[in-house]
Structure 1
Amino acid sequence: MSETRPRGESFEYAGAIVELVDAPTVLAAARVNPVELLRRADWPSPVQRVDLTVASADRPDGPVHTFSAAISTAEEPLSKERIRKLVLGTDPIGLLLAKRIEAGDPIATRIVDNIGAAAAAAYKKLGLDRATTPVTQREPGTLADAVVGLQAELTYDETGTVVRLHAEVPRDDVTPAHLQAFVGLTLQAVIELAGPESLTGRKYAVSREAVASKVPATTQTVTLDMVGGLADVVAELREIAVSFRHPEAMARWGARRPQGLLMYGPPGTGKTMLSRALANEIGADFREIRTPEILDKWLGGSERNIKQIFRDARRYRVPTLMLFDEFDSIISYAGSGGDAASQAINAVAGIFKQEMNDLIEANPNVIVVATTNFPHRVDDSLIRSGRFDVKISVPKPDEASRTEIFRKMIHGLIAAHEAPGFRMFAEDLDLTALAAASHGMTGADIKEILRRVQLSKAMQDARTGGQVAPITTDELLASVRELQGPTGPR
C-alpha cells in the first residue's frame, strides 16, 4: 500500500502556527538538489522576504546537510508585485485590469506592461526602487537550539539589509528535529527585526508542495514541486530557474543563462504545465502565444504579428516567460518547399530567427519556451544553440513515475477538498496497482481517471443527499479500464 496523505506536524513559535510537512522527504530530496522553503510566505514589516534552503555538501569530515536562510528587509526593485501595485492600484479599473490579466487577456497585459515600463523608469529616477530598511545589528553572532544542539551562524551583508543564517549537520545524524529547530531559529531572527509580537496569529507552511492551501491547484498555480515523476526534467528546469533568479552570479562569471527552451514529447505528457510551473518557479509572468495570434491569411500579416510580439517582449519590465505552444503549427518544415504556402512559412521562420538572435541582450527579463509534439517538423536552424539553448525530451511516464503522479494528484485533491467529517479517498489506496494498471498512460490520462471518479461520486452524493463512501482502489481501477477501452489508452 502507498502513503496517500502527506505527513505533517504543527508546532507553535512565538504565537505563530508552523506546519512542517513531510520533513523526511524534504531531507531526502535535499541530498540530490537544494530544496527551497518558505519563499512565498507573508512576513511582518520590515521583513520583505525569507529564503530558507536545505541542501547537501561534501566536507573533509564527510557529507553534511546544510540549512541556510536569508532574511531581507530590502524590496526587490522592479518585482512584478511592486510594478503591478504601482500601476493597477485598488480602484475599480485597476481591479478589472488585474482580473483580465489573470484570465490571460493579451490586450490588458500589453496596456499594463507599457504603462508599467514608464512607471518603473520614473520610480527608478526618483530613487524609490532602492527603498530599504537597514537592520540595526551588524556584528556576526550565533543562534542556538539547545534541544537538538543546533547552532546557526548569524551574519549580515554589506548593504545592511540581509540577515543570513547557516547551520550544518552530518548527513548520518540529521533528523526532522534539526529542520524544525532551524525553522525556529529563522523565526527568532525575524522577531529580532520585526518585534516580539510580530508573528502572533500568523501561519506558515514548511513544505515542498503546496498542500497547506485549501484552494485547488490550477494550471495558473502549479509549481515544479507538484509535478509527479519526471525527476530529471524537473531538475533541469530548476537549474534554469536558478540561473534566471540570480543574474548577479551569471554576470560575475560572464555566463549567459539559456534564453530559449524547447520541450518535446508525446501529447499529454505535461509540457504546457511544466512551462507554467517554470514561470512560477522563477516568479515570472506567463505569456502564452497561441497560433491565431501569429498566423494571418493576409500576405505579410504573420510576419508583422511576430515582430509585434517580440517588440512587446523587449519592453517587458518584469520577469516574463513567453510560451509558444504547439510550436510546429506556427513554424513547420521551414525551407521545405517553393510554393506560396511554404514561402509564407519560411518568412515567418526567418523573422522568428532574427528576433531570437538578440532577445536576451535586449531584455534579460524574458525567457522563451517552445513546446511541440513533433520536433522533426521544426527546422534545426530555428532551434540551434544561441536561440534555443536547452532541449528537453518529456517522455510518457514509466511505472514509478505514474505512481508518483497518482500520489501527488491525490495529495492535491485531499488538501483542497477534505474537511473534518469528510474523507475523499480511502486510507488503503494501492497506488502501485494503479500505476501498473495504467501502463502507457500520461499525466493527462491520470487526471482524467480521477475526474471521472470524482464526477461519479458527486452524482451519487447529489442523488442520495450524502453518505457516500470514499473513493477506493477498485473504483479507480475501473476508471482506468474505462479510459483504456478495448484497445488500450486513447
Structure 2
Amino acid sequence: MHDEIFEYAGATVSLVDPSTVLAAARVNPVELVHHADWPSPVQRVEVTVSSLDTTAGPMHVFVARVHAGAEPMSTERMRKLVLGRDPIGVLLSKRIAEGDPVATRIVDGVGSAAAAAYRKLGLDKAGGPAPHRGPGVFADAGVGLQAEVSHEADGDVIRLRSEVPRDEATANHLRAFVTLTLQAVTELTEPEALRGRRYVFSREATPPPAPVTTQQVTLDMVGGLADLVGELRQIAVSFRHPEAMARWGARRPQGILMYGPPGTGKTMLSRALANEIGADFREIRTPEILDKWLGGSERNIKQIFRDARRYRVPTLMLFDEFDSIVSYAGAGGDAASQALNAVAGIFKQEMNDLFEANPNVIVVATTNFPQRVDESLIRSGRFDIKISVPRPDEVSRAEIFRKMIEGLAAAHERGGFRMFAPDLDLPALGVASTGMTGADIKEVLRRVQMTKAMQEARTGAADPISQQELLAAVRDLRGHV
C-alpha cells in the first residue's frame, strides 16, 4: 500500500492507496470521504470516483459535492446568494465582478435575482442563461487536470466534475482532484480555515491514523529554507512540463548536489523533491556500490546506471553520503584509493550521457563534506545545481517547530484528545534552540512525547505538552550535543 500524504492550506491530507482506488473504480463507484470536520458553512464533502464508457473511450470520472448549509434554496436564499449576503454569495459576487464564468453561470440560473446582481455590479445584464458561456473550471496545471464547477439547484451544493482517460489516470490525477476540491472549500470559507485540520480520503470508513513519514514528505511540509524550497519547486515544474522545455530547447538540470552539516534535512529534501515531481525514489547506498572484490565496485556502478537508462517513469536517484563513494579521487596509492578513483571515473563517464539516454532521470547526491569530492566530478553538466543546506536560523527553527507540531497534532489529536497546549510560543522555541538542526528538533519532540506517554501509562492521564516542557527538552538535548 502506498499512501499520498501532503499539505494543503495548512491542513494535512491523507489519500489512502490511490492506485487501488483507481483500480476498484473500474468495477464500482468508490466513495472517498466518510467522516470529517469541515469549517462553517461547509457541512460535508462527498468525493466519488467511478468509471464511464464514452464516445471518446473509457473514462475515470471524479465528482465532488461540497455541501454548504442545509437550508433549501428559497427565493430569499437565492437573492442572498447573488447579492453577497452570505458566504457563498460573497464568493459569487466577487467572481462576477472579475468576470469569472463560474459565477456568471451560477447566477444566470437563478432568475430575477440575477438581474439585480448584475445591475448592482454595473453590468446591466438581464437574467437568463448565457449560451456563449461554458462551465467554469478549476485547474491543476501540474497534471493537466480540469474540473468543471457548477451549482446544484436543489440546495447549496457546489459540484466539481473531471474526466480522465481510464488508462491514463494516475494517483497524481486523483491527488490533483482532491486538491481542487479543497480549493473550493477554502473559497467558500476562509483561506486559513483548514489550517491544523486533518482530512483522510479513503475507501475505508475508519482508516487508521497515518503520521507523516520521511517517505511521504512534500516540499509544503519543509520548515524554513524558503529560498531553497523555491529552487526545488522550479526543478519540479520543469519535470511536470516537458512540452514547454522542448519548445524552448531548455535542458532540465540532470544532477543536484546538496551539501551541509548532518541533520539539516538533505535526504528529506530529496524525497520531497521526488514527491513534488511525482517521481519514483531510488536510494543508492554505499554498500550497493563498494565491493571488496577486485572490479566489483566498477561493475556495480555500471549496473546502477544501466538500470537508470531503462526507467520509463520519472525517477530520482539519490546517492546519499556521496563522499564515501567517490571521495578523495586522485589521492593515495593504496588499493582502497585506487578503487575509489575507479568508481569516480566510471561515475563521470556514466553521468556524461545519462540525460540524453533518459531525460526521465535526475540524480541527487548529498554529502556532509563537499571538500572531499573531486571538483571535476561535480562540475556543471554533471551536477548543474549545487545547493548548500545550512543549519536553520532562528526564524527557520520556529517554522520547523510549527510544521512538526501541526503534523503531530493532525495525526494524533482526535476524540477530544489534545496533544499540545494552545499557548505555545514558537518564536521563543526558535530562540532557545540556537544551533539545532531539524533532526535535533524532531528528537526534542520525540523525548517529550515519550515522557507524556510514560506519564499516562503510570497515572492514567497526562496534560497536553506545554511550553515549559518543550524548553526543558531543548535544554536537555543541548546539554548532550
TM-score by length of 2: 0.64
| Separation (CA, whole Å) in 2 of partners of 1:19 and 1:184 | 23
Question: Is 1:461 matched up with 2:456?
Answer: yes
1:474 to 2:468 alignment: yes
Q: C-alpha displacement at 1:134, in angstroms?
A: 11
Contact kept? 1:294, 1:302, Cα under 8 Å? yes
Aligned to 2:380: 385
SS of the residue corresponding to residue 363 of structure 2 reads strand
User: 2:412 aligned to 392, 417, 429, which one?
Assistant: 417
Per-residue CA shift, 1:224-251, capped at 9, x if unaligned?
A: 1010001011101101111011111110
What is the CA distance between 1:183 and its match in structure 2? 8.0
CA contact 2:138–2:149 (8 Å) conserved in 1: no
Q: Does 1:445 align with 2:440?
A: yes
1:344 corresponding residue in structure 2: 339
Contact 2:421–2:466 at 8 Å: present in 1 too? yes
The amino acid across from 1:165 in the alignment is: V
Whichever residue aligns with residue 470 of structure 2, its letter is: L
8 A contact 1:153–1:166 mirrored in 2 = no
Check conservation: 2:259, 2:370, Cα contact below 8 A: yes
By how many angstroms is 1:338 displaced? 3.1
Which one-letter code corresponds to 1:406 in the other structure? F
Please list the CA deviations of residues 210-269 of structure 1 after superposition, one character each: whole Å capped at 9, or x if unmatched: 943542000111111010001011101101111011111110110010111110000000
The 5 A counterparts of 1:47-66 are none
Deviation beyond 6 Å, 4+ runs, structure 1 = 15-21, 182-187, 207-210
Q: Secondary structure at the match of 1:286?
A: strand
Shift of 1:360: 1.3
Tell me if the contact between 1:18 and 1:205 (Cα under 8 Å) persists in the aligned partners.
no
Uncovered stretches (5+) of structure 1, i.e. residues with no partner: 1-5, 9-14, 22-40, 48-72, 74-129, 136-143, 155-162, 168-181, 195-201
Larger radius of gyration: 2
Structure 2 vs 1, CA of residues 353 and 185 (structure 1 numbering), >3 Å: closer, same or farther?
farther
**What is the 5 A alignment of 1:207-286?**
211-213=198-200, 214-286=209-281
Residue aligned with 2:49, SS:
coil
Rounded Cα–Cα distance in structure 1 between residues aligned with 2:464 and 2:158: 42
Superposed CA RMSD in Å reads 3.6
Of 357, 360, 367, the match for 2:355 = 360
Counterpart for residue 44 of structure 1: 49
Distance 1:46 1:325, change over 3 A: same
Percent identity over paired residues: 71
Matching residue of 1:141: none
Q: Closer, same or farther in 2 for the Cα pair 1:320/1:164, shift >3 Å?
A: farther
SS at match of 2:258: strand
Q: For residue 422 of structure 2, what is the aligned residue in structure 1? A: 427
How many angstroms apart in 2 are the aligned matches of 1:458 and 1:234? 34
> Which amino acid counterpart does residue 454 of structure 1 have in structure 2?
Q
Q: Is the contact made by 1:287 and 1:320 (CA closer than 8 Å) also made in structure 2?
A: yes
Please point out which of 125, 147, 168 is paired with 2:90.
147
Q: Structure 1, residues 166-211: CA drift from partner, whole Å, max 9, x if none?
A: 79xxxxxxxxxxxxxx9878995734869xxxxxxx9954479994
In the alignment, is the contact (CA less than 8 A) between 2:10 and 2:195 conserved in 1?
no
Amino acid corresponding to residue 441 of structure 2 in structure 1: I
Structure 1 residue 319 and structure 2 residue 342: aligned? no
Whether the 8 Å CA contact 1:209–1:226 is kept in 2: the answer is no
Taking CA–CA contacts closer than 8 Å with sequence separation of 6 or more, which of the two structures ends up with the larger relative contact order? 1
Distance 1:258 1:230 in 2: 20
Aligned with 1:190: secondary structure? strand
1:177-188 to structure 2, matched below 5 A, reads none
* CA distance in 1: counterparts of 2:287 and 2:260, whole angstroms: 23
| C-alpha spacing 1:478/1:434, structure 2 compared with 1 (3 Å) | same
Given that 1:279 and 1:286 are in contact with CA atoms closer than 8 Å, whether structure 2 keeps it comes out as yes
Amino acid at match of 1:345: L
Q: Which residue of 1 aligns with 2:393?
A: 398
How many residue pairs align between the two structures?
Answer: 342
Match of 1:79 in 2: none
What CA distance in whole angstroms lies between the structure 2 residues aligned with 1:185 and 1:462? 51
Which residue of the partner structure matches residue 15 of structure 2?
A: none
Q: Which amino acid aligns with 1:409?
A: M
Q: What letter matches 1:44 in structure 2?
A: V
1:165 aligns with 2:152: no
Residue number among 394, 403, 413 corresponding to 1:408 in the alignment:
403
Displacement of 1:164 after TM fit?
7.6
Instruction: Give the conservation status (yes or no) of the 8 Å contact 1:228–1:408.
Output: yes
Does the aligned pair in 1 maintain the 2:265–2:438 contact within 8 Å? yes
Which of 361, 367, 372 is the matching residue for 1:372? 367
Structure 2: where are the runs of 5+ without partners?
1-8, 12-32, 40-45, 62-81, 83-87, 103-134, 140-147, 165-177, 184-193, 201-208
Equivalent residues of 1:208, 1:225 under 8 A apart: no
Give 2:160's aligned residue: 190
Give the conservation status (yes or no) of the 8 Å contact 1:211–1:411: no
Conservation of the 8 A alpha-carbon contact between 1:243 and 1:250: yes
d(CA) in 1 for partners of 2:365 and 2:37?
A: 37
Distance 2:158 2:420 in 1: 39
- Partner secondary structure for residue 316 of structure 2: strand
The one-letter code sitting in structure 2 at the alignment partner of 1:190 is L
Q: TM-score, normalised by structure 1?
A: 0.63
Within 5 Å, give how 1:300-315 maps onto structure 2.
300-315=295-310
Measure how far apart 1:336 and its partner are: 2.0
Shift of the 153–360 alpha-carbon distance from structure 1 to 2, 3 Å rule, reads farther
CA distances 1:342-399 after superposition (whole Å, capped 9, x unpaired): 2211110010011111111111211110000000100111011111111100000000
**Matched-pair contact (CA < 8 Å) for 1:46–1:193:** no
Q: Distance in 1 between matches of 2:264 and 2:432?
A: 18
TM-superposed CA distance for 1:337, in Å, is: 2.8
1:185–1:247 Cα change, 3 Å: farther
> 2:306 is paired with a residue of what secondary structure?
helix
